[in-house]
Amino acid sequence: MKGSDKGVNGSERTIVSFCTFVLSLPLTSSHSFSLLLLLFTFHLSPFTSSAQAVVFSHPGGFYADTFSLSMRIDFLPHSELRTQNSELRIHYTFNGAEPTECDPEYCEPLPMTPVLYSPSNLYRVQDVPDDRWFVPDEVQRIIVVRAAVFDSAGERRSVVTTHAYLIDSLLGRRISLPVVSLCTDSLSLFDFDTGLFSPGYCFDPDNPYNSGNYFQKGRHWERNASFAYYDPAGGDLEQDCGLRIHGNSQRVLVQKGLSLYARKEYGDNRFRYPFFADEKNQAFRRLVLRPWSTSWTGAGVEDWLCQHLAEPLRCDHLATRPVVLFLNGEYWGVYFLEEKADEHYIEEHYRVPDQEVDLIACWGEEIENGHAARWDSLYRWLQQADLSREKDFRYLASQVDIDALIDYMLLQVLVLNDDWPVNNVRFWSTAGRSWRWIFFDGDGTLVPFPGCINVLDHMTYNMPSRTTRTSLQSTLLFRRLLANQQFLERTLRRLKEIVDSHFSYDNTAPLLHDIVEQLRSEVPYQRDRFAKPSSIASWEVAVAGIDDFLRIEPQNTVEEYARYFGLSHPAGGGFRIVAGQILLDESAAGSRTFVVYDICGRQMGEAILQDGEQTVELPKLSRGVYFVQQTNNGAVQKWIIE
């Protein structure tokens, strides 16, 4: 994207391409006269009276040392402005805002020195409630220059050209990660009424962690920005885009998530660049910048690692890579550039029109695209279905991609996602296609927190009250499926297969090592900017915890899953619970005692298997969740009464 065509808008490209096409036609063409007439019409259009762009002597990107930056005006063919050159001026800014005629006029080359750093100091503007606010003493900066052509009346006569310059000698280092530079007017971020980052007029002091301008959504809360992507290995992309806040509860963090929208009105409706090395798709309608600060442990790598662990599985997942963000030239920390899990993701990966996609979130509570009628119908059917019956299971398999669902479910269990299944759920379908789930947001994964509920408890929850992690609505599909013994056994086989291959430590350890080494040099700057992680030592501890998790937990998960659903033989003699009966899995002499507890740990009864017996009835209890413990060896199984 370097060169004189930077900044050409869509209309101007269309005109130039059309002119080239017409002039290439033979004069004998029966359409020549009409096309030449159209060409004349285009020549008289307003577009041809505008300058094409300001051209910089140096493209944006990485430089070892300082230099002087020159600018010149580049014109469209046949532009009348060529004859008015003496009346045209270049005005520029270096604070991220679009230039006006009131900004400095370019008269001579600009030395690339700290004099051109933005004076705005956005990092000092509070963008969270008082007790969440953190401001560093200083931040690193790069030089961003935005320039446009103006006539003698002060009217802008060109698009705005924007370049960002990462100069090693000024930074005192070479940034090893790709860099994203975003430039926008500071009022777009911090205006009281309209600023995306501002608590603003939407802030409620009685509800400080769920209110503020940054919690607003929709097109009304999208702002124009200049986006640039620079890869130290070579390659870049520069274009305008739409900018919004991304995420849910963590919008209240100082380091906020951001969504990027490519639209024709900004110049191009795609980000056309191979951001992700192993991703076939190289044109994206939407992108997300996920901040380091959303990591639950401070390791910063959980979501990246989960997405890469999902790559060989059959469920949908997102391409992602780490970047460094500069906002109006100010260092804004480590982010992960990622695909956005929306209808355009489906369009790009499955080649179906986005308007045909039904995209549902939160198990039907939110319709993100299309309609919910087909999902609502399936959900109502599930409420009455008995998937232990072959007919019902076959019908569900005609509506849901069972293989993909198994992998999605097992991935959530294997990474011990403590923020699921109520949260972070999106699934989609189109006419003639089965429902599929998209794995996204792995920030609450990979480290078992003391006292947290087991994910298997999350996905089998059967209590009427809703919690922050689970609910009856979010577990209905799983509870129905787990009533099918063949499904349970099929799922266990798949779990063992995944753990023995994709989730083996020999495979997962290199992934962790890769991302840790990519981030290591940037961690001190991320810490200094946002105090997350709190220290280098705490980051190392968090990373070591993930390493321990990958080394130990997957095999433990297989054992836990089998034991949880009565699919294995615990030491001392296994048992299964089927239709309110205990079934002994092997012959053994001597009697056995089984004690039943409710979810609060209260003893609700017992059942005794006498010597030689293979089955015994469990106590009659009301609907709910119970645990049955074999007293002589401690083996425990969960028992759900519908």
Task: Give a yes or no: residue 170 inside a domain.
Answer: yes
Contacts of 300 (CB under 8 A, 6+ apart): 292, 334, 519, 523, 526, 533, 539
Selection from 49-53, 259-263, 601-605 with the highest mean pLDDT: 259-263
Task: Give a yes or no: residue 410 inside a domain.
Answer: yes
Indicate whether 89 and 152 sit together in one domain.
Answer: yes
Selection from 20-24, 109-113, 592-596 with the highest mean pLDDT: 109-113
Indicate whether 396 and 497 sit together in one domain.
Answer: yes
Task: Give a yes or no: residue 261 inside a domain.
Answer: yes
Distance CA 197, CA 611 (A): 70
pLDDT band at 112 (very low <50, low <70, confident <90, very high): very high
pLDDT at 311 over 60: yes
Range name among 76-80, 220-224, 300-304 with the lowest pLDDT average: 76-80
pLDDT at 23 over 80: no
Indicate whether 427 and 483 sit together in one domain.
Answer: yes
pLDDT in tens, 139-153: 999 999 999 999 999
What does the block give as tokens for 39? 């060409």
pLDDT band at 92 (very low <50, low <70, confident <90, very high): very high
Indicate whether 17 and 145 sit together in one domain.
Answer: yes
**Section 111-121 average pLDDT:** 96
pLDDT in tens, 192-218: 999 999 999 999 999 999 999 999 999
Using CA atoms, how far residue 316 sits from 152, 289, 349, 409, in Å, is 55, 19, 10, 12
Using CA atoms, how far residue 429 sits from 179, 345, 375, 377, 564, in Å, is 35, 12, 9, 13, 31
Residue in 100, 78, 98, 97 with CA at minimum distance from that of residue 89:
100
161 contacts 70 by C-beta, under 8 angstroms: no
What letters, b where the CB count within 10 A reaches 16 and e where it falls short, cover 396-412?
A: beebbbbebbbbbbbbb
Indicate whether 168 and 102 sit together in one domain.
Answer: yes
**What is the pairing mode between strands 161-167 and 61-63?**
parallel
Task: Using the 3D structure, point to which of 253, 273, 293 is the last residue of a domain.
Answer: 273
Task: Using the 3D structure, point to which of 564, 593, 617 is the last residue of a domain.
Answer: 564
Determine if residue 14 is left, alpha or beta; phi over 0 gives left, psi from -120 to 50 gives alpha, anything else beta: alpha
**Section 227-248 average pLDDT:** 96
Note down the domain range covering 580.
Answer: 575-641
| Residue of 51 and 147 predicted with greater confidence | 147
Task: Using the 3D structure, point to which of 240, 273, 306 is the last residue of a domain.
Answer: 273
Task: Give a yes or no: residue 246 inside a domain.
Answer: yes
366 Cα distance to chain centroid: 18
Indicate whether 199 and 268 sit together in one domain.
Answer: yes
Indicate whether 617 and 518 sit together in one domain.
Answer: no
**Average pLDDT, whole number, for the chain?**
88
How would DSSP label each residue in 489-538?
HHHHHHHHHHHHTTTSHHHHHHHHHHHHHHHGGGHHHHHHHH--SS-HHH
pLDDT in tens, 560-584: 898 888 775 443 346 778 778 887 7
Work out the burial of residue 184: count CB atoms within 10 Å of its CB; fewer than 13 is exposed, 13-18 middle, 19 or more buried. buried
Indicate whether 180 and 84 sit together in one domain.
Answer: yes
pLDDT band at 31 (very low <50, low <70, confident <90, very high): very low
pLDDT at residue number 593: 87
**Section 27-35 average pLDDT:** 39
Indicate whether 532 and 597 sit together in one domain.
Answer: no
**What is the pairing mode between strands 236-246 and 223-230?**
antiparallel
State the pTM of this model: 0.82
Task: Give a yes or no: residue 292 inside a domain.
Answer: no
Total number of domains constituting the chain? 3
Beta bridge partners of 335: 291, 323
Task: Give a yes or no: residue 596 inside a domain.
Answer: yes
Task: Give a yes or no: residue 285 inside a domain.
Answer: no
Indicate whether 466 and 554 sit together in one domain.
Answer: yes
CA dihedral 512, 341, 379, 407 (to 10 degrees): -30
Indicate whether 557 and 477 sit together in one domain.
Answer: yes
Task: Give a yes or no: residue 382 inside a domain.
Answer: yes
Contacts of 461 (CB under 8 A, 6+ apart): 467, 470, 471, 472, 474, 475, 625
pLDDT at 600 over 70: no
pLDDT in tens, 152-197: 999 999 999 999 999 999 999 999 999 999 999 999 999 999 999 9
Angle of CA points 122, 267, 70, to nearest 5°: 65
Indicate whether 554 and 581 sit together in one domain.
Answer: no
